[in-house]
Amino acid sequence: MDFKLNQSSPIPLYVQIENYLRGLIQEEEYIKGDKLLPKEVALSKKLGVSRNTIRQAINQLVFEGLIERKKGVGTKVVAKKISTRLDNWISFTNEMRSKGIEVVDYHMSIELVKATPEVYKALGVSEEKDLWKLEKIRGSKKGKFLYSISYFHPRVGISGKENFKKPLYELLEIEHDIIVSTSKEKLKAITANQKISNALGIYDNHAVLERERLVLDVGERPVEFNKVYYHTDYFTYDIDIKREL
């Protein structure tokens, strides 16, 4: 991105540089966080101004939360986090669509497997049975947001031929006459193991948000046991708590 300061302009030099940086951080390589912003020294030499002028422009963008400085690393664009609510019952696809975000499926697989004792206990199924396991890695063009693992009760009737790119609970209702009504959930912060790290493209022991849910039908019978691991650079959860008067 070519840029030259207009020394005769009434617009202060630091504001011109600030506007230049605003345009720069909209480029895809900076948005993704793959590329650091030019260093103050390099910008100072390139534009022929003092480092204080450069710093004044950068400080404004830091103040606005658009970029961040990391000692020993450099300055980069701050990844925008997606805020979602714990009390929402809405598919990931539909929720992202409502925020104007195009969902990217990085990985999706369905297979019949032996599960862990935790899963069998949650679903109330004998450990002798194989269960359908659905894995998804989803996000946007900016990166991978979540890694999801679901196991289904045999009663659901999963065949493995379903189109799981469709919103899951709509699919269960339309193709299997399963209407879900309750989600019992647990939320906690954990450190990512190697499998989660590989799935989300992060370092081992990186902090992630684990959301565990047991989904029940209208008859209060288990339908799905699901764990989702959220990349915390992209996701936050909101909840409102009202005081009883």
Residue 86's pLDDT band, with cuts at 50, 70 and 90, is very low
Residue 214 has pLDDT above 90, yes or no: yes
What are the structure tokens assigned to 215, written together?
């989904």
Query: Which pLDDT score, from 0 to 100, does residue 204 have?
Result: 80
Domain 82-238 has CATH 3.40.1410.10: yes
Query: Which pLDDT score, from 0 to 100, does residue 222 have?
Result: 95
Model-level pTM?
A: 0.62
DSSP 44-80: HHHHT--HHHHHHHHHHHHHTTSEEEETTTEEEEPPP
Q: What are phi and psi of 21, to 5 degrees?
A: -65, -35
Query: Which pLDDT score, from 0 to 100, does residue 193 have?
Result: 93
Average pLDDT over residues 97-102: 71
CATH code linked to domain 13-77: 1.10.10.10
Residue 148 has pLDDT above 70, yes or no: yes
Residue 133's pLDDT band, with cuts at 50, 70 and 90, is very high
Residue 227 CB: number of other CB atoms within 10 A? Answer: 17
Residue 3's pLDDT band, with cuts at 50, 70 and 90, is confident
Assign 3-class secondary structure to 121-177.
HHHCCCCCCCEEEEEEEEEECCEEEEEEEEEECHHHCCCCCCCCCCCHHHHHHHHHC
Q: How far apart are CA 116 and CA 119, in angstroms?
A: 5
Map out the domains of the chain as residue ranges. 13-77, 82-238
What are the structure tokens assigned to 40, written together?
């103050």
Q: Is the dihedral of CA 157, 159, 165, 171 positive or negative?
A: negative
Q: How far apart are CA 104 and CA 227, in angstroms?
A: 19
Structural element, H or E, at residue 24: helix 13-24
Residue 85's pLDDT band, with cuts at 50, 70 and 90, is very low
Judged on CB neighbours under 10 Å (0-12, 13-18, 19+), 137 is buried
Average pLDDT over residues 35-49: 87
